[in-house]
Amino acid sequence: MNVLVTGGSGYIGSHTCIQLLSAGHTPIVVDNLCNSNSLVLNRIEQVAGTRPLFLKGDIRDRAFLDSIFATHDIDSVIHFAGLKAVGESVALPLKYYDNNVSGTLNLVSAMDRAEVKSLIFSSSATVYGDPASVPIREDFPTSATNPYGRSKLMVEECLRDFQQANPDWSITLLRYFNPVGAHESGLLGEDPQGTPNNLLPFVAQVAVGRREKLGVFGNDYNTPDGTGVRDYIHVVDLADGHLAALDKMTHQPGTHIFNLGTGQGNSVLEMVHAFEAAAKRSIPYEIKPRRAGDIAECYADPAYAEAQLGWKAIRDLQTMVEDTWRWQSKNPHGYC
């Protein structure tokens, strides 16, 4: 299939392009490079043997999108492009609603004009808010605790309404848990700009000597060791989940919702210790106050995705931290 991949030079998008190429699909990457580097395209080519077509531009640009759909025979769109920093979204909510919500509406309108009717959207476990229990099933109530999460929830709701009004469309909402890890080659990985917001990139930068120590946000949660528990999923498993959704859902009209997680919860300290074993060095840390908005535990029930998509995550925690360390140690300053 010819697949338009918005945000295709970003962390999850780039790994998905590799899996698409290996499966014989043709990804066409659209990205404005606001949070990624065009060197990623070289790395994709090095790993997959083919360089995807790269079209630099913004998904909010109507003429740009119309010209893409007019000149390429697109079968389906995987839509990763978006901003994802929770703290920034609190300070700059309009930036997030404009990019994530208006950008998606602009994309769907362009697809509609071009009669491309299959979309896979990057949603997030953040739409479950603070869940009443774990593991989390797709039919749990949704809520938002910050503008980033609200932008994901708004898009989910807009897409659901749009699909209901256009029943021949297939729209798949993939709710990611905590993506981590890197390609096993060590050539692709996560390259956050500035101070990392997420746990594993921060730990990796401490391990490689870019940062002095990790702050552990709270050790008084009601969890086995008091630190927060999350469902960390290898980015290549996550990418494969998109391929499964593409194969199984493209020709099934409807709004389809799946958790992409492992079903396994790990604490902050478990992640630190697993990373120490992989990197063979200690990760200094100090306990800090809880981070505003954090929840104690969040992990998926992945059974519905497995039943419907025939997909489940197969890479274990050791692989996640080893692959992250290979990427970080080979590329201490990311793509540069």
Q: Which residues are catalytic?
A: 148
Which residues in the 46-105 window bind ligand WQD by CB under 6 A?
84, 86
Q: Angle 230-233-238 (CA atoms, 0-180°, nearest 5)?
A: 140
Q: How many CB atoms lie within 10 A of CB 287?
A: 14
| 81 lies in the site for ligand NAD, by CB under 6 A | yes
- What does the alpha-carbon distance between residue 72 and residue 93 come to, in Å, rounded to a whole number? 34
- What does the alpha-carbon distance between residue 153 and residue 267 come to, in Å, rounded to a whole number? 26
| 82 lies in the site for ligand NAD, by CB under 6 A | yes
Please report, for residues 140, 216, 235, the alpha-carbon distance to residue 261 in angstroms, rounded to integers and kept in the order given: 15, 23, 10
Which of the listed partners (ligand NAD, ligand WQD, none) does 33 bind, with a CB threshold of 5 to 8 Å by partner kind? ligand NAD
Q: What share of the chain is helix, strand, coil (3-state, %, to 5)?
A: 40, 20, 40
| 331 lies in the site for ligand NAD, by CB under 6 A | no
Nearest distance, CB of residue 290 and ligand WQD, angstroms: 7
**Phi then psi dihedrals of residue 76, to 5 deg:** -155, 155
| 268 lies in the site for ligand WQD, by CB under 6 A | yes
Nearest distance, CB of residue 167 and ligand NAD, angstroms: 26
| 179 lies in the site for ligand NAD, by CB under 6 A | yes
Q: Mask of contacts with ligand NAD, 34-63, x by CB under 6 A? A: xxx---------------------xxx---
Question: Cβ closer to ligand WQD: 65 or 200?
Answer: 200
Tally helices (H) and strands (E) across the chain: 12, 14
Residues 6+ apart with CB under 8 A from 161: none
Helix/strand/coil for 286: strand
Q: Closest Cα partner for 107 from 69, 75, 138?
A: 69
Nearest distance, CB of residue 114 and ligand WQD, angstroms: 28
| 301 lies in the site for ligand NAD, by CB under 6 A | no
Residue nearest to ligand WQD (CB): 228
Nearest distance, CB of residue 24 and ligand WQD, angstroms: 30
The kind and range of the H/E element at 254 are strand 254-260
Question: Cβ closer to ligand WQD: 142 or 178?
Answer: 178
Which residues form the interface with ligand WQD (CB under 6 A)?
84, 86, 124, 126, 178, 197-199, 202, 214-217, 228, 230, 268, 291, 294
Which residues form the interface with ligand NAD (CB under 6 A)?
7, 9-13, 31-36, 58-60, 80-84, 99, 103, 122, 124, 176, 179
